Structures are given as structure tokens and as C-alpha cells.
Amino acid sequence: MADSTKTATLSFGDTTIELPMYSPSAGPDVIDISKLYAQGGVFTHDPGFTSTSSCESTITFIDGGKGELLHRGYPIDQLAEKSHFLEVCYLLLYGELPTAAQLEDFEFRVTRHTMVHEQMGNFFRGFRRDAHPMAVMVGVVGAMSAFYHDSTDVNDPWQREVAAIRLIAKMPTIAAWAFKYTIGQPMVYPRNDLDYASNFLRMCFAVPAEDYEVDPILARAMDRIFTLHADHEQNASTSTVRLASSSGANPFACIAAGIACLWGPAHGGANQACLEMLREIGTVDRIPEFIARAKDKNDPFRLMGFGHRVYKNFDPRAKVMKKSADEVLELLGVENNPTLQVAKELEAQALADPYFAEKKLFPNVDFYSGIILEAMGFPTSMFTPIFAVSRTVGWVSQWKEMISDPTMKIGRPRQLYTGSTARDYVDVEDR
């Protein structure tokens, strides 16, 4: 725990309370209100947690004003440029960049866990073919606790380690199989001689009748998408994983809860919603109409892929993603892709508009990712599952950090109750 070097004074009525304050290594000071109810008999109220730190963490830091994202101190643009996904996984999980030997060992461990229990195939086949792959992932990942009993004891550090590796290793297989199932093709088994991204692409696009040659540039772009989504401190799905885990629930159940939360369009579902929006706009001449709708208070429409709770400047991930979109589309010979043209023009018009400037709304990571994924051959329904594959390491790292903290408590928020006070039951004939 950071040292308390100063205090904040809170006064209400006749009560004055000194609250400890902590200075983090980066970011605003934090007032500790954990003893407030015991000392002052009041709660704080912060729906949506806009001003509340829910935990102490050393993993990821975001400076929303500067548009900075650091994993264990390393800027995301450097990691996206110079590192690769499994190295970033190691960094998030263990706190430091690995030596060559540590990386080799880690890659070996992940690669040797990529297969899923053979009986899990039957589980997939229980779903309707038209199920959304996210629905399948929520179910199958939750069901991992029924298949891997030897890594569900959260009090055993070794079992926690095995569960972490299993989740990171098997998630691409589960996402690829969910995809294969919905398109009626046979599931493709992982191949351990391929790197993480190439293996995922092959499991998605190979068929028994014809193998899939993985293009190294596409594999690099896929790896970069995984890297850019790997962790994002206490976002909604990560906080869901932490809250679910705080009861001592097993890791597979908790990660399934994270996947369920990620699915929503305000969170990971925004990449699918964004591409559908760009397609709906269709041509650049229709952009002003959609910008006008996004600004209209009486219209629930929002520009998907725009805005962020924390970033009040460019999302640094969006910058890398935009560059990657250009590279991938050029490689595939689709530079004149109409969706990319609409996206670029929409970004330019929105950024020049005072509404978006005043509210500090900038493109986020989801604005360009869908264009890359579509160009690679993924349907929109696979965009959020790919986000889930990437974010698994973030969820797992945050979960491991929380469980190994001896001061961990079950998460249990309080409320501002505005319902009826106690009243007597009335028999049905008297109502």
C-alpha cells in the first residue's frame, strides 16, 4: 500500500473527519474513505465510479489528459512497435520484460496449452448455429471450470498460475471454434509450431480441404490488435472480473463474467457497432447527417468508436490502429475501401466540430480495428470475441494481482436507497 503522507478533512453537520490521502506513482492523489462509515456513519455516492479508485494496482496506468497508456511503465506505442503479444502478456503477468530464456519458457508453456479438452467440442455443438460467438464464449469459458478441476483452487498459487496460462492459451482456440461452428465448418486444431497470432488466423481460416498460408504481415497486424487490447486498467469488464473474483469464485467463472460485460456496445461491443455504423453511413456525403444525429440530445444515436471515460485526448491505441489499417488495406490491395474512406472523413469532420472538441471526444481503439478485421476476412460478430482473446491476459493479470493481495476483501458496494420504508404486507383481497 502507498504511504499516507497527508490527509483530507471532511466536515458535515457537527462531524469533522481526517481521511488519509495517498500519492500514487502517477495520477491524481487518492482519498481513502474506507473508514468513513465507521467514523462518520455516512456513505459516498459515485454511480459509474467516475471519481472512485476501486483497488491498488501496479499493472497499467492511463493519463487520459495526455492520451498516455503505460503497461508496467512502458508506453503502448513502443510495445506495439517493438514488442509482440506474448512478450506483453509476460510483462503484464509478471511485472518485467522477460529475458530471452524467460520468454522462450513462457511461449513454450502457453503453446503447450492451446488444445481444449476434446469433450468441449460437444459443448460447442449444443449451441444453435446462428448463436453470436460471444454467447458461445461466455458459455464455453464458464464451462472450463467443469473441465479443468486441477486449476480452480484460487488459494493455491500454483493452480492460479496454471489457470492463467490455460486461459491465455486456450482463448484463441475457443474463439476460433465459436467462429467455425457458426459458419458450419469443422473446428481446426491448434498448431504449436505457429506463433500465437498465426495460429489463431489459421484456426479461423484453414479448412480440411485446403490449408491456410499465414501472411506474415497479416499475422503481425493480428498480433498488434491483440497487443493494443491487452489491458486497460480498471475498465468495466476488468472490474467485473475483480468483483466476481472477490467472492473466491474460480477463475474460469470470473473470466466468463468479464466476457459477458465486454459484450456490451459501450465497451468491447463498440468495434462491431462501429463497423455497422460506418457501413450504414455508406458514403461520405451522408456523414453530416450522422454527425447531426450524434449531437442531437433527443436522438440516442452516438458515434460508435468515439469518446472514452478516461481519454480526453487521442486514444494512443487508435493512432497505432489507424496506421495499421492503412498498411493492411494496402497489402490486401483495398486502399480504396469505402468503409475506410468514410471512417477517415468522419474522423476529420467530427474532430473539426465544436461539439466533439468541447466534450473532448476523440476516436478510440474501436474506431479503426473493425476495418482491419473485416479486411482480414472476419465477420463483424467476431470483432468482440477477438477483443476478448486479447483482454484475457489483462483480466488474468488483474485477477492474480488481486487474489495475491493479503488485504483483499469481498467487493460489496453500498447504496443510496430511495424506495419505500418498512410497511406491512396487505392481503391480496384488501389491495
Interface with ligand CMC includes 308 (CB under 6 A)? Answer: yes
Given the complex with ligand CMC, which of 69 and 162 has the nearer CB atom? 69
x/- mask, ligand CMC, residues 53-92, rule CB under 6 A, reads ----------------------------------------
Q: How far apart are CA 111 and CA 90, in angstroms?
A: 14
From 29, 45, 48, 49, select the one nearest 37 (Cα to Cα). 45
Piece of 91-99, 123-131, 184-192, 300-308 that binds ligand CMC (CB under 6 A): 300-308
- Which residue's C-beta sits nearest to ligand CMC? 307
Q: How far apart are CA 378 and CA 201, in angstroms?
A: 10
Catalytic residue of the set 63, 366, 405, 430: 366
What's the burial of 428, exposed, middle or buried (CB within 10 Å: 0-12/13-18/19+)? Answer: exposed
Interface with ligand CMC includes 272 (CB under 6 A)? Answer: no
Q: Find where cell 473441465 sits.
A: 147
Cα 184 to the center of its chain, rounded Å: 28
366 classed as catalytic: yes
Q: How far apart are CA 412 and CA 410, in angstroms?
A: 6
From 163, 169, 188, 168, select the one nearest 178 (Cα to Cα). 188
Question: Which position among 233, 366, 374, 401 is part of the footprint of ligand CMC (CB under 6 A)?
Answer: 366
SS3 at position 136: helix
Catalytic residue of the set 71, 132, 229, 308: 308
Cell of 216: 506474415
Interface with ligand CMC includes 191 (CB under 6 A)? Answer: no
Interface with ligand CMC includes 35 (CB under 6 A)? Answer: no
229 classed as catalytic: no
Residue 7 bridge partners (DSSP): 20
Piece of 136-144, 159-167, 296-304, 399-407 that binds ligand CMC (CB under 6 A): 296-304
Interface with ligand CMC includes 294 (CB under 6 A)? Answer: yes
Cell of 104: 522462450
Cell of 275: 463497423
Given the complex with ligand CMC, which of 33 and 294 has the nearer CB atom? 294
We find the least distance from the C-beta atom of residue 151 to ligand CMC, in angstroms, to be 28
Interface with ligand CMC includes 361 (CB under 6 A)? Answer: yes
Give φ, ψ of 21 to 5 degrees: -120, 145
Interface with ligand CMC includes 309 (CB under 6 A)? Answer: yes
SS3 at position 395: helix
208-267 positions binding ligand CMC, by CB under 6 A: 232, 235, 266-267
Given the complex with ligand CMC, which of 98 and 258 has the nearer CB atom? 258
- Other Cβ atoms less than 10 A from the Cβ of 307: the count is 20
Interface with ligand CMC includes 115 (CB under 6 A)? Answer: no
Given the complex with ligand CMC, which of 366 and 401 has the nearer CB atom? 366
Question: Which position among 110, 204, 365, 382 is part of the footprint of ligand CMC (CB under 6 A)?
Answer: 365
Q: How far apart are CA 328 and CA 321, in angstroms?
A: 10
Given the complex with ligand CMC, which of 169 and 273 has the nearer CB atom? 273
314 near 67, Cβ under 8 Å? yes
SS3 at position 307: coil
Given the complex with ligand CMC, which of 139 and 258 has the nearer CB atom? 258
Binding site for ligand CMC (CB under 6 A): 232, 235, 266-268, 270, 294, 302-309, 359, 361, 364-366
Supply the residues annotated as catalytic: 308, 366
